[in-house]
């Protein structure tokens, strides 16, 4: 298993997810909820790819397989955690905006 390759997959997909979340929030701010939903779904798909790659590394480690801890891997884990937080907050903020506009 190439840890650096896994790290790059995590970083790229987590970064794409975060970007889609921020675009979704901007679309919701403009009351374009259909576009916001599309972008949020895209963000979730990218986040799932990153999360699955990270989980595969965790499973390998749990099985006793050698998983080298590198600065790049730490960076990838940070990107994943950040993307998950941004996604959760974006969902909540879009929900609040939708409620505001439906009042």
Helices (H) and strands (E) in the chain, counts: 3, 0
* pLDDT at position 7: 96
Residue recorded with tokens 């779904």: 41
Q: Which CATH number fits the domain that encloses residue 97?
A: 1.20.58.80
Q: Which of 54, 75, 79, 95 is catalytic?
A: 75
> Which residue has 């889609």 as its token pair?
20
The pair of three-digit structure tokens given for residue 103, joined into one six-digit string: 């009042």
For residue 70, the enclosing domain spans: 3-101
pLDDT at 1: 65
Please tell me the pTM assigned to this model. 0.92
Q: How many domains does the chain have?
A: 1
Cα angle, residue 56 at apex, residues 37 and 47 outer, rounded to 5°: 15
Is the model's pLDDT at 103 over the cut of 60?
no
Is 95 assigned a catalytic role? Answer: no
What confidence tier does 66 reach under pLDDT thresholds 50, 70, 90?
A: confident
Convert the pLDDT of each residue in 2-55 to its tens digit: 899 999 999 999 999 999 999 999 999 999 999 999 999 999 999 999 999 999
């Amino acid at each position: 298993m190439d840890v650096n390759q896994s790290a790059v997959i995590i970083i790229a997909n987590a970064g794409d997810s975060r970007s889609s979340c921020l675009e979704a929030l901007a679309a919701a701010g403009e009351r374009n909820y259909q576009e916001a939903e599309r972008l949020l779904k895209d963000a979730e798909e990218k986040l799932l790819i990153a999360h699955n790659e990270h989980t595969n590394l965790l499973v390998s480690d749990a099985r006793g397989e050698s998983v080298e801890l590198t600065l790049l891997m730490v960076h990838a884990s940070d990107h994943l955690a950040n993307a998950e937080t941004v996604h959760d907050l974006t969902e909540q903020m879009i929900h609040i905006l939708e409620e505001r506009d439906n009042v």
